Structures are given as structure tokens and as C-alpha cells.
Structure 1
Amino acid sequence: MIACVAVVGQQNNPLFIESFTEGEDELKFHYIVHCSLDVIQEKVSNPKKTGSAMNETFLGLLYPTEDYKVYGYLTNTRVKFLLVTTDQDVRDIDVRNFFRRFHAAYVDAVSNPFHVPGKRIISKAFTERVGAIVKSFGAPTT
């Protein structure tokens, strides 16, 4: 199950953070997202150490916590996507597919002529589309 998704800008400013859990966990997810940025920076600055290619956008599992697993994705424009999940046995192919769909939704949202680049994404359509992607996560693709 997905607990939280986030979009973080080039300057590590949060553009979109949405929690999908019951309760008052929003501050905890802001903290997890913020901590993930250090891991992303380390992976990007030391590609030989982590074994990933510089042109690889999927960063994989950033780090597991006791209750969550955090996955990362980096766009060509250095915008970061983060996925926080409670599932302990998530397949990489499912996470890659999620990020591919999430990236497409992001591109559609920022292509809006009324969106100011680098500012928070405030779009009901984007939020609903992300919710639909989250609901379909882990479902078999046809």
C-alpha cells in the first residue's frame, strides 16, 4: 500500500506531497521525504559507488525504515519523485511502472499555461489523477 507520494523541485523545495494514510501522519511523511533527499544526493553524486548509470532515472530503493520503504526517481530536469510504501515485498517493475505514470501526470500538470514553474502544484485534476494511479498500484497490468 502506498503511504505517501511527493514531488520535490530542483532546489529541494516540496512541490507536491500527498499522504494516503488515515490519521495525522503528514508531518512524519514530510520528515521522511526530507531525509530521502540526502540519499538521492549521495546516489547522484557517486554513481560508481551505487552502481547506477547517470542516465538512469529510477533510483530504486532509497532506504527502508521500520514501517516504510522509500523509492526514488529523478527526472532529466532534476525534479525528484518519491514513493513511500508500507509493503515490504514490492517488485521493482511495479515501482518503475508507478513512476512512469506519475511522471506523465506531472508533465501534464506542469504543462498547464497557468502553472508557474518551480512553484507548488495546486491542481485538483493532478491530485485526482495521482489518487487514481495510487489506487491502481500493485494491480496487475493488462
Structure 2
Amino acid sequence: SPSVAAVAVISADNTPRFIETYTDGNSDAALALHSACYSALDVVDERVAAARVRGSGSAAAIADCYLGELLPLEEHVVHGYLTPTWVKIMLVVGDEVPLQPADARRILGELHTAYARA
């Protein structure tokens, strides 16, 4: 199964609420994963803008909260999720074993549920 490298929760105003990296203390790798999450926000903005052009003006109107693969990197892939309140949840996984979309959707949905209950 794919290895989780980072999880991030970013508020509607793009303020980080939670970012956790799993890098065995490698600060350079942790910084790179933080940067990847921030870079993926641009892709989220592009996808939201595209949805608005198609007539879906709100996050709730976007058919699927799971945004798919947002940013492929050399050794990782960033998957994204947009809640109805515009909170962005990022899941960064290693690319050694592809994460299936159904699995990513399920994991991110569970993270959303945990965030909503916190």
C-alpha cells in the first residue's frame, strides 16, 4: 500500500490548520512536503475556478469533494479534497505504489469527518 508522507488541513482563507509530515526527522523532506501542499493550493484554485465556469458557484455544488491528484512530484503525489465550507484537505503519498482514486476518496473523506468532529 502507498506510504503516507503528509496530511494537511488548510482553512478557507488558506491558513494552515494542521500539517503533519512523516519523514523520520528529515527537515529538508518535511519542508519539501509543506511546500508541495502549498503548491497544490494553486491547483485547487484552478479546479474551483473551472467548476464556477461550468456553473457550480459553491464548493457544495462541486459534484465530488475529492479533487483527485493535484500535484505529481518526483517521489510523491498530492491528492486533494474540498469541503463544502472551502476547507482543503491534502494527502501526500509516496508514488511507489499508486493510490487508487476510490481509496484516496475514502481516506480523505474519513479525514474530513475527523476534522469536522474535532
Q: Percent identity?
A: 38
In structure 1, the partner of 2:49 is 45
After TM superposition, the score normalised by the length of structure 1 is 0.70
In structure 2, the partner of 1:58 is 66
After TM superposition, the score normalised by the length of structure 2 is 0.84
**Greater RCO (CA < 8 Å, at least 6 residues apart):** 2
Whole-angstrom distance in 2 between the partners of 1:76 and 1:11: 14
Residue pair 2:11, 2:86 contacting (<8 A) in 1 also:
yes
Whole-angstrom distance in 2 between the partners of 1:8 and 1:67: 22
**Alpha carbon RMSD of aligned pairs, Å?**
2.0
The structure number with the bigger radius of gyration is: 1
In structure 2, give the amino acid aligned to 1:42.
E
Relative to structure 2, which stretch is displaced further, 52-61 or 18-27?
A: 52-61
- Name the one with the larger strand percent: 2
Residue ranges of structure 1 left out of the alignment (5+ in a row): 110-142
In structure 2, the partner of 1:86 is 94
| Residue 49 (structure 1) shift | 8.3
Whole-angstrom distance in 2 between the partners of 1:62 and 1:49: 19
| Residue 47 (structure 1) shift | 2.4
| Alignment counterpart, residue 109 of structure 2, candidates 88, 95, 100 | 100
| Residue 3 (structure 1) shift | 0.2
Q: How many residues align?
A: 108
| Residue 40 (structure 1) shift | 0.3
